Amino acid sequence: MADETDIHQGRNGPVATPTPGVFILIAARLAVVSFFMGLVVFFQFRYGRLNQAYLPLIPVAFAYLFSIAYAVFSRFATNLFRFAYFQLVTDALLVTGIIHFTGGAESPFPFLYILVIIGSAISLSKSATYVIATEASVFFAVMLGLEFQGIIHPFYVFPPSYKNPEAAFVLITAIMNITSFYLVAFLSGYLTGLLRKTDQRLIEKNQDFTLLKAFHENVLSNMGSGFMAMDMDGTILSHNPAAEKMLGLRAEEIGRQKIWNIFNRGALGRFFENPPPLDNQPGQAELSHMKGDGTRVDINMTISKLSVDGAIQGVIAVFQDVTGIKNMERQVAHAERLAAIGRMAAGIAHEIRNPLASLSGSIQILSADLDPLLDQSGKRLINIITRETDRLNRIITQFLLYTSPPRLRPFTLDAGNIIRETVTLLQSDPRVKDKMTIRMAVQPEVFVEADDGQFRQAIWNLCVNAIDAMGDSGTLIISVGKDGPLKDSRPMAWIIIEDTGGGIPPENLDRIFEPFFTTKSGGTGLGLPLAHKIIESHGGKIEAWSVLGRGTRFIVSLPLALKQAAAPVA
């Protein structure tokens, strides 16, 4: 088909804007005609016949005139196939004129018809090529026939070889040229057909390749896993941005580098040195990498073979950062060891508790019997034994409560009443009386579902911790409310216990709920962990904020009970 065109709306309707192919056809016509006719003028000048050279220039003048007209009217052509066909028919007529004015049957330019036929094969369809070949043959045969009959007389650029050419010569000339026209039409049509099919296949392949490339780039760019492709020497040929981010390396630090420069040889080296058969499953490797900032990254890598035509050509590695998983595994293992130790410690504590109670009772009996016989030093020793035995028993009791808390017996409790009763007990405590101030802000009807004894124990532990943190003086502030300050998806009740003590250092704030962690002399380190465990067992949570020199705030949140129910009877 002819060259394609762009259509736009003109004053008189749709107007075609010719593509560069149309102008190439016009320019090629001018170049060919000018070149060959320039040769004619050159030889005319050389043989001193320049005054007779104007006749061969007549077709050249028409070629220029037609080319100018084509260039002007090409903008208004709506069917480029017909427009190109008209040009080629005109070109065949021009070639006939050139042959007539350069010797007719003895002209050296019949091959110009071949250029027109080739142009038709390129610009038009395969069938149109044979039409142009037929028209060229007709024009050439008619011209030869008219010249042979003497109806028209050719202009001889060079002296004629024959004064009166014979009919056989003219016939053979016509047959040979016409045969070459159709042969060229066949070959050019066949070759241009192949060329068009090849172009179409290339276009389709290019589109497929473009889509495949875009798919490849998008998939690799958006993969959350790291990707590397390597040859069998371990040279990294391709990678994705996730690999750079995961390994903390720049693109130039990965591309074209050996894989050994990033990971230890280990399992990777064995895979490259002895590649498994193609039908084997992908291999797995556990690797580690140290980033530039000193951070250690644990990598789980899946190694697959890249095969082409049944031969291994490279290696594909897909890997994930499993540092978090490994840390979690280590924490779980550590927690399991601690749990085992805790179970053993709980068993030991339970076995110690019974003889300790017997020991405490025996000392009290001995103290009563021996009191008249003991001096002040002996009595002081008995008091120390009794006090320390009680303290040891208290520690064991708290430890057993932490490791094996009793089964919950939840009731709907008024949190405000629990706080008021706790404050009443605190105000009679020697550590608080006449030393500290307790302030309360209690909203009415704040009900929670909780075990009465355990809930009181948790609030008491938090308050005692605040009192111990303030020392000899300070203010304890207890607030009770609902629906804040901690936001949750469920309606929540909250209790804030705030002191004006020295605060908790930031490095200790994350450890205050760990068993046996304490900074107080004589402390057991079980008060806050026990309170934390009780609140969590009720579906609540505790959060702590602290500022050095200003005090600490504990916020306890528990699910809010929507209906009031009877509290347990003491």
Q: What is the CATH number of the domain that holds 478?
A: 3.30.565.10
In a domain, residue 569? The reply is: no
In a domain, residue 218? The reply is: no
For residue 475, the surrounding DSSP H or E stretch is strand 474-482
- Name residues whose C-beta falls within 8 Å of residue 523's C-beta, 6 or more positions apart in sequence: 468
* One domain, residues 429 and 346: no
What pLDDT score does 4 carry? 38
Give the residue-averaged pLDDT of 33-37: 67
What pLDDT score does 5 carry? 38
* One domain, residues 89 and 59: yes
Over pLDDT 90: what percentage of the chain?
Answer: 9
State the pLDDT confidence band at 22, using cuts at 50, 70 and 90: low
- Which of 121-130, 336-345, 549-558 shows the lowest mean pLDDT across its residues? 336-345
Q: Are the beta carbons of 423 and 462 closer than 8 angstroms? A: no
Q: 134 or 523: whose pLDDT is higher?
A: 134
Per-residue HEC secondary structure of 44-113 comes to HHHCCCHHHCCCCHHHHHHHHHHHHHHHHHHHHCCCHHHHHHHHHHHHHHHHHHHHHCCCHHHCCCCCHH
State the pLDDT confidence band at 495, using cuts at 50, 70 and 90: very high
* One domain, residues 442 and 469: yes
In a domain, residue 290? The reply is: yes
Query: What digits encode the pLDDT tens for the residues 225-257?
Result: 898 888 888 888 888 888 988 888 988 888 888
**Block residue for tokens 């049957």:** 105
* One domain, residues 187 and 229: no
- pLDDT at 408 exceeding the cut of 90: no
Q: Are the beta carbons of 241 and 221 closer than 8 angstroms? A: yes
Query: What digits encode the pLDDT tens for the residues 561-570?
Result: 865 544 444 4
What pLDDT score does 17 carry? 40
Domain boundary among 185, 201, 217: 201
Give the residue-averaged pLDDT of 42-64: 63
- pLDDT at 14 exceeding the cut of 50: no
What pLDDT score does 553 carry? 93
In a domain, residue 564? The reply is: no
State the pLDDT confidence band at 554, using cuts at 50, 70 and 90: very high
What pLDDT score does 476 carry? 92
Q: Are the beta carbons of 411 and 566 closer than 8 angstroms? A: yes
- Which of 267-276, 315-324, 449-458 shows the lowest mean pLDDT across its residues? 267-276
- pLDDT at 56 exceeding the cut of 70: no
In a domain, residue 570? The reply is: no
State the pLDDT confidence band at 3, using cuts at 50, 70 and 90: very low
Per the DSSP assignment, residues forming a β-bridge with 557 are 494, 541
Domain boundary among 403, 437, 452: 403
* One domain, residues 184 and 236: no
Instruction: Using alpha carbons, list the distances in angstroms from residue 97 to 35, 70, 93.
Output: 16, 19, 6
Give the residue-averaged pLDDT of 134-141: 90
Helices (H) and strands (E) in the chain, counts: 14, 14
In a domain, residue 216? The reply is: no
Query: What digits encode the pLDDT tens for the residues 69-107?
Result: 776 776 666 777 787 788 888 888 888 887 887 778 878
Per-residue HEC secondary structure of 497-541 comes to EECCCCCCCHHHHCCCCCCCCCCCCCCCCCHHHHHHHHHHHCCCE
**Percent of residues in the chain assigned helix, strand, coil, to nearest 5:** 55, 20, 25
* One domain, residues 419 and 536: yes
Domain boundary among 383, 403, 423: 403
- pLDDT at 2 exceeding the cut of 60: no
| H helical segments located in 404-451 | 415-427
Per-residue HEC secondary structure of 270-323 comes to HHHHCCCCCCCCCEEEEEEEECCCCCEEEEEEEEEEEEECCEEEEEEEEEEECH
When divided into structural domains, the chain yields a total of 4
Listed residue (455, 458, 502, 462) closest to 478, CA to CA: 462
Query: What digits encode the pLDDT tens for the residues 364-390?
Result: 777 777 777 777 777 777 777 777 777
The amino acid at 402: Y
State the pLDDT confidence band at 522, using cuts at 50, 70 and 90: low
In residues, how long is the chain?
570
Instruction: Using alpha carbons, list the distances in angstroms from residue 56 to 45, 200, 389, 393, 539.
Output: 13, 43, 135, 131, 108
Q: Are the beta carbons of 493 and 479 closer than 8 angstroms? A: no
What pLDDT score does 222 carry? 82
* One domain, residues 439 and 457: yes
Q: 171 or 29: whose pLDDT is higher?
A: 171
What pLDDT score does 123 carry? 76
Provide the residue range defining the domain that includes 505: 410-559
In a domain, residue 565? The reply is: no
* One domain, residues 495 and 390: no
181 by DSSP, 3-state: which? Answer: helix
Q: Residue 398 burial by CB count (10 A; 0-12/13-18/19+): exposed, middle or buried?
A: buried
* One domain, residues 111 and 195: yes
Question: Across all residues in the chain, what is the average pLDDT?
Answer: 78
State the pLDDT confidence band at 521, using cuts at 50, 70 and 90: low
What pLDDT score does 459 carry? 92
In a domain, residue 423? The reply is: yes
* One domain, residues 96 and 238: no
For residue 336, the surrounding DSSP H or E stretch is helix 323-370
What pLDDT score does 94 carry? 82
* One domain, residues 124 and 26: yes
Q: 480 or 43: whose pLDDT is higher?
A: 480
State the pLDDT confidence band at 20, using cuts at 50, 70 and 90: very low
Give how far the C-alpha of residue 88 lies from the chain's centroid of Cα atoms, to the nearest Å: 56
Over pLDDT 70: what percentage of the chain?
Answer: 76
* One domain, residues 126 and 44: yes
State the pLDDT confidence band at 402, using cuts at 50, 70 and 90: low
What pLDDT score does 177 carry? 86
Q: What span, in angstroms and rounded, lies between the C-alpha atoms of 512 and 346?
A: 21
Listed residue (361, 349, 431) closest to 389, CA to CA: 361
Angle formed at CA 164 by CA 162 and CA 169, multiple of 5 degrees: 70
